[in-house]
Amino acid sequence: MFLSFHGHLRNLLRRGYQNQQKIEHALNRRASIKDIIESMGVPHTEIGRLIINDQEVSFLHIPNNNTSVEIFPLSGPDDFLTATSLRPEPLPELIFALDMNVGKLVKLLRMAGIDTFYTNPISELELLKVGVEENRIVLSRNKDLLKRKALTFGYLVKNFSPEKQFQEIIHFFGLTRNLQPFTRCMACNGLLKKVDKQKIIAELEPLTKIHYHCFQQCSDCTKLYWSGSHKDKMVDIIKRCFPDQDFSVECKKH
């Protein structure tokens, strides 16, 4: 059989395959197209379409030696939110569960108001369970994790630095217009709500009582938030990552 990988998928192939425009693969046993592709290094979660004889097929398709398959990468959020041959039951929304190898990305996504599950430590099986049961997209830099059969929705993070990863996820999943900065707890992912200063004044440090008057509190872990130099730094990160966008973050400052 012959396999042609398109786009960035060629970069994910094992070294011996990367320079081949069309890969010839001898079938020595009965195997699904998913297993064959993953044996070459590409996680099934990175694939958007499989085309054989001008028809889309599923990961369960069993090819023969005369098969020629075109393998295309994910193209964006529609691959997750719309029913396809590879993913017939789409997600209701774009929410995430993060692997420990992208742990520094967590606070940036939560800062932007993106629903992001994360706990450390966590086993691969536990992370997969959260992803499957809560309909979350698992984000990771671990290709072997994303090859797990139980996982339908995952994404291989390409960049190394947290800010570049942040830009990558927001742009790829088309989340720019959905961002709601400073509406989620960066510690636990809970939603923030405004709280009257007098109700929490006993929990504040003396200088905080004097200089700050508007507060938010996490509805889950009760952590308190208020404006300060730390928040200014976070606003700078958002503006640096998305200089052409106006997220109206100033209205969130207290």
- Of 194, 210, 209, 201, give the one whose Cα is nearest residue 252: 194
Output the pLDDT for position 249.
46
CB atoms within 10 A of CB 3: 23
Output the pLDDT for position 250.
44
Output the pLDDT for position 115.
98
Residue 51, burial from CB neighbour count under 10 angstroms (0-12, 13-18, 19+): middle
What's the predicted TM-score (pTM) here?
A: 0.92
Report the greatest alpha carbon distance in the chain: 76
pLDDT in tens, 219-239: 999 999 998 767 888 888 888
Output the pLDDT for position 247.
55
Looking at the chain, the whole-number percentage of residues with pLDDT higher than 70 is 96
Output the pLDDT for position 219.
97
Task: Tell me the torsion sign for CA atoms 162, 166, 167, 169.
Answer: positive
Weakly modelled stretches of the chain, pLDDT under 50: 249-254
